[in-house]
Amino acid sequence: MKINSTMIILMVVAITISFFYYYNFTKLELSHQPNFHSHSNAATIYKAPKNRSLINENNLHSLLAEFDLSGDVKFLDAAKKYFSNDSDYMIEAALAARTPDSNALSALEAKQPNNALPNILRAGMYANLKKWKEMYKELEIAYGKSELNLNTIKRMESKLDLFIEQPTRANLNTMTLNGDLQFLRSIQSLNAALRYNHHSVGGANNAARYGVDLAERLIDINKDNLINASVSQTLEFDVLRDLDPEIKFDDTGKTVKERLIEIAASIKFSSKYQSIFKKLFDIHIEPQTRVQFFARARSDGQISALEWFDEVLTASK
């Protein structure tokens, strides 16, 4: 599969969001092995046991991880056959949806009515179609919902299992990261739409309100994450800079200008580490080095792991 520069940037952001969130907030041991081992033909070798109680979460998550990494729909179809009512399957199916009227989006809405994910995905699709009124309608619905659930931790656990068993899978040339990329494409489309189309529909204030809401939701699912914070803050910066800089940003009396200065400083601080992180997925980097990096990120923190990797790069020159 040929990967262009935009795809690489999106993949890096996707991996950043999933890996760093996982390593900061879970305690999975590197020696852990899933009950259902992954294979390139996992969907064809997987046979449901006669005792349905043996069809457990590990089976589901392995199939979903294979789909997310390979983009091969047979894995998602296999998961649907046995787990169609499972919330984790529904989230993955929603992330794989390509049209606003997708049944997968409606099914997740019915299952998790407070999850803003279906509305954000739809809004991104409408932005691509330049259907601004429909986009704003979905954003308004999302704004009123209490959570954004991408099932980040479980989805990352399953990918980590694959990488530990098969380190060569941690390779941008073979990964599709289907679900992560679809979500980030929606955010990218919304960022552009909110910035450049608020003059005709919605207005700058509404664009800023929805943009800040999206940014805060992304921060909420990636707390204490230096690099991910800059992704969210860039979105917030883009929508705020079109407002009058002297109006109030929040109830503390802080102005939009003051908030923009804060965001710019934070983004500048993290930019050095972003450039190091992007190099982690260079085709010349050994997959096992990536596994070691993520282990260090979990045990020692993001900055420590990035500085270690920077030393590895320097030593290899």
- Cβ atoms of 55 and 193 within 8 Å: the answer is no
> What pLDDT score was predicted for residue 317?
76
- Token pair in block for residue 60: 């589901």
Confidence (pLDDT) at 84? 93
Question: Which is nearest to 284 in space by CA: 311, 317, 307, 257?
Answer: 317
Between these two residues, 234 and 311, which has the higher pLDDT value? Answer: 311
Residue type, 110: A
Residue 17: pLDDT band (50, 70, 90) is very low
Residue with the two structure tokens 């494409």: 185
Amino acid identity at 112: Q
Query: What are the distances in angstroms from CA 131 to CA 6, 105, 126?
Result: 24, 18, 5
φ, ψ of residue 101 to 5 degrees: the values are -95, 15
CB count, 10 Å around CB of 204?
16
Q: What is the pLDDT of residue 33?
A: 31
From first CA to last CA, the distance across the chain in angstroms is: 29
SS (H, E, C) 135-151: HHHHHHHHHCCCECCCC
Residue with tokens 């999106």: 10
Mean pLDDT in residue range 301-317: 88
More confident residue, 287 or 314: 314
Q: How confident is the model at residue 297 (pLDDT cuts 50, 70, 90)?
A: confident
Of all residues in the chain, what percent carry a pLDDT higher than 70? Answer: 70
pLDDT in tens, 239-292: 788 788 898 887 788 898 998 998 888 888 778 887 888 888 787 888 788 878
Question: Quick check: 190 and 120 in contact, CB under 8 A?
Answer: yes
pLDDT digits (tens, 9 = 90+) for 128-166: 999 988 998 999 999 899 898 888 777 777 777 777 677
Rounded CA separation 314/234 (Å): 29
Q: Which of 244, 283, 285, 236 is nearest to 263 (CA)?
A: 236
Which residue did the predictor score with more confidence, 131 or 9? 131
Contacts of 298 (CB under 8 A, 6+ apart): 22, 23, 24, 26
Pair of tokens at residue 49: 């046991």
> What's the CA gap between 139 and 145, in Å, rounded?
10
Q: What pLDDT, on the 0 to 100 scale, is given for residue 110?
A: 97
Q: What is the pLDDT of residues 58-109, one digit of tens each?
A: 688 888 888 888 888 888 999 998 899 999 999 999 999 999 999 999 999 9
Q: Which of 20-29, 168-177, 300-309 has the highest mean pLDDT?
A: 300-309
- Tell me the pLDDT tens digit for each residue of 19-54: 444 444 333 333 333 333 334 444 443 444 444 444
- In a 13 Å sphere around the CA of 78, the CA atoms on its Cβ side amount to 22
